[in-house]
Chain A
Amino acid sequence: MNLALEDALCNRLARIRALGAARIRPVGLEADRAGAPLPPDHPFFAELVRLGLGRTRWLGGEDPDDAGPTTTEARRERSERDEETRGERGSPSFTGVVLAEELAYWDRGVAVAFPGPGLGEPPILAMGTPEQKQRFLGPFRAPDRPRWGSFAMTEPGAGSDVAAIRTACRRDGADWVLDGDKSFAANASRADWIVVFATCDPALGRAGHRAFVVERGTPGLGDFRIERKMGLEAYESTSFTLRGCRVPAANLLGGEERQSGRAGFKGAMQSFNATRPMIGAMAVGIGRAALDETLAFARSHDRLGDPRVRDRLERSRRKLQAARLLCWRAAWLADQQRPNVLEASMAKAVAPQAAFEAAALGMELLGEEGGRGDHLIEKLFRDVKAMDIVEGTGQIQRVLMARQLVGLPRD
């Protein structure tokens, strides 16, 4: 058993920390004050691209150990990338969870606004054909400018119950035609493409699900509306419509042959089991930021001599540390290719509550300073609530856990 972070990962964390203090947190506060997402042409995004961020983790080719690039230039690029991500390839979920916590510590909203293929990447990696990976992830290997991908599952009438989506897809000649409404798709209006989940027959339930890559400018894709939210203002949560939206068959993820059985739905659920611990880790990051700020406030106001204050800070720290370890374990299990449904849901159920408690405690110690609405802790208090909602609410996680623990029926 070993719970120590490796040096290479610590180095990456140190770089995030430097960027976080200098840029991520300030632009997050900027967006919060503006009450609007950072615009796509914000200089921060170009800066991230210059730093080599906003790229896909797809390495090109099907297998990271394949014959690989043939030119010297490409080989050097590959070898640099390999060095940087050596640990990550052995434990991509764990590494992702640790990095996600640190990013969320500085600003979870900004972390989601980062350029890159975003949540669209896991389904393409899991289900896409080699041609589709090349077409859609290729441009993210060394982007010349900020580019975004997006992911659209949620609908106005289907949130945690993803099997209830109603966006319809039907085959029409060489194309598919999509009709429906999507909501809460991060970065959708600025994205090069959106991975859209649709159903070819609601009566088939999950077996009827298909995932399409819908490219920007496709006729019938429109009505983008950026939601006004309680927090996490830095990135856009966007609703949009698909009206007779015609998508070439080549954009059906996995192609026709992958669609037998429940492949489409399973593709989505696979990515969820890896992302639930990541959302949990983001909650821990927000909670840790609240704890540090609360500690600093209490110290500067001479409150740390009060045992009631110490007790409550101690409780927050302990709950966040336990939540972090639950997230780590769930991600580590995913890396070991072991079942982690129970553990992933546990992490996702526990961490947001611990983080909310930390932020709520911070507000209480701030007192009326918190009521002013201009303190970082107040922003964290608004930001953190979403973590108990996205990727399956805390209640849904308990349903999933109960299926594992006591075989709770699906009725």
Chain B
Amino acid sequence: MIDFDLDPALELLRETARRFGAERLRPRERESEAARAVGAPNLAAAAEIGLAAAAWPESLGGAALGALGRAVVLEELAAADPGAALALDPLGPAVHALAELGGEPALRTHAGPLIGRPGARAWLAWNGDGRVTLRGGRADGRLPWVPADRLDLLVLLDRDAAAVVEADGLPLAPLRGAGLRAAGASEVVLAGAPVRAWWVHPRGARRALARARLDLAALLVGVARAAAELSRAYALQRVAFGRPIAHHQALAFLIADMASAVDGARLLVHDAALRLDAEEDADGACAAAFVEAAEQALFVTPNALQILGGHGFVQDYPIEKWMREARALSLLHGGVDAAREDAGRALVASDAPLALAGTAPR
């Protein structure tokens, strides 16, 4: 039966993540941004609750709640602090490449050691444009921006393959970062860094990219939701020309459209996650969810800022930060434009891309 409610386990997870975000992340959002880190107590508490582990396989001590579970957690954390959402996940998107291309042995070898290591960070860098060359077991090239100040694991992903690069001793040059500073921000120069493992598996690479894009989509839905909620509340408080600004129709309609933007994007994310969890071919759906979430986040966050006017432009409210972070998130893993291209190619491979039935059963 059709059902738009989350299963009880996921609903509980959502509530837990929401409470954690509201009580522990949001109040320290600017502090984390300035410190370029989430405080140790929050790191420990998030690990204890098992937020990042919710979607990990059981072999890593995860709860195996799937792509939908991961999307739910990421949205909730990003709705509190998108940078912290990245910082709290020791495996980050790297887990997707390890699982999809290397399977259980890769997870055991490369991901296992990070779990329980305080503040550990892993990153999945998109190398589909060949910015890093891999030759003779060595990696050379430059990653202009990685949202981390330390790396315990670095995985490079391209269209067909993934490579684990030796992270120990990698030089990370700190950057200011356009956003997501709570996760850190660095340039990484690879100068003959050893490649520790390497898998060629085009389908696995596509799925890893799809999952990484869906992570971004969920984060973008979270940040857009936060901005929509905060600006709605503000518009009810702020009075101009004798009534709350929310009651001027120009803003009332904008607030309505912002709500539609968030809900529509979230439904595409959940739909794509369900397809992934059902082992369907979901590359196009994940790419489209990322494009939609980015587009809507870049509609919602600047308009939310606009509703706050001058208060939105200054740093007393987090809106200006969220606008920067929505833009920054949608640059990762090859960016929105590449995702649009992949979704378009998936579309033109079909005669009836939106047929109601006759698609693969779920």
Contact = CB atoms under 8 A, between A and B. Distances in A.
A296 B244 CA distance: 50
**Interface bracket on A:** 35 or more
A230 interface: no
Nearest to A402: B252
A165 B232 CA distance: 34
A408 B271 contact: no
A41 interface: no
Given A325-B271, A326-B264, A295 B348 contact: yes
Contacts of B151: none
A175 interface: no
Interface stretch (B2-10, B141-149, B320-328): B2-10
The binding surface of chain B is classed by DSSP as helix
Interface stretch (B99-107, B111-119, B160-168, B339-347): B339-347
A329 to B, nearest CB: 5
Contacts of B352: 292
A408 B252 contact: yes
B340 to A, nearest CB: 6
Contacts of A90: 1
B130 to A, nearest CB: 20
A13 B267 contact: no
B271 A314 contact: no
Contacts of A91: 1-2
B2 A322 contact: no
Interface stretch (B43-51, B169-177, B200-208, B254-262): B254-262
**Interface bracket on B:** 35 or more
A299 B350 CA distance: 11
A409 B347 CA distance: 44
B260 A98 contact: no
Contacts of B4: 1, 3, 328-329, 332-333
Interface string B241-284: 00010110100110111011001110110110010001000000
Interface string B326-362: 0000000000000011011101100111101110011
B264 A314 contact: no
A296 B356 contact: no
Contacts of B300: none
B253 A313 contact: no
Contacts of A9: 357
A25 to B, nearest CB: 14
A14 interface: yes
A85 to B, nearest CB: 14
B236 interface: yes
B269 to A, nearest CB: 10
A10 B5 contact: no
B260 A350 contact: yes
Interface string A177-213: 0000000000000000000000000000000000000
B362 A322 contact: no
Contacts of B68: 1
Nearest to B251: A406
Interface in A1-32: 1-6, 9-10, 13-14
12 contacts: A1-B4, A1-B5, A3-B271, A3-B274, A4-B2, A13-B357, A314-B344, A322-B265, A325-B268, A346-B259, A346-B263, A349-B257
Interface of B: 1-7, 10, 68, 232, 235-236, 244, 246-247, 249, 252-253, 255-257, 259-260, 263-265, 267-268, 270-271, 274, 278, 288, 291-292, 340-341, 343-345, 347-348, 351-354, 356-358, 361-362
